[in-house]
Amino acid sequence: MTKYICFYCHREISWKEVEKIRCPYCGGKVFFKARPKIVKRIKAI
Ligand SMILES: [Zn+2]
């Protein structure tokens, strides 16, 4: 599942809240997708 983060308060918001286009915490209307941990590291053994 894709989580979203409020641009203003940086809290995780569920998709249901994003559909309302409004942050339940601060009322912000800007969100960005929370990417899963993308750690691109190549171990040089
Ligand atoms: Zn917010």
* C-alpha 8 – ligand 1 centre gap (Å): 5
Q: What is the DSSP letter of 21?
A: T
* C-alpha 39 – ligand 1 centre gap (Å): 26
pTM: 0.65
Paired tokens of 14: 């569920």
pLDDT of residue 35: 74
Stated as kind and residue range, the H or E segment containing 18 is helix 15-19
* C-alpha 2 – ligand 1 centre gap (Å): 17
pLDDT tens-digit readout, 7-45: 999 999 988 888 888 999 999 999 988 776 666 777 877
* C-alpha 17 – ligand 1 centre gap (Å): 11
pLDDT of residue 17: 82
Domain boundaries, given as residue ranges, for the chain: 3-34
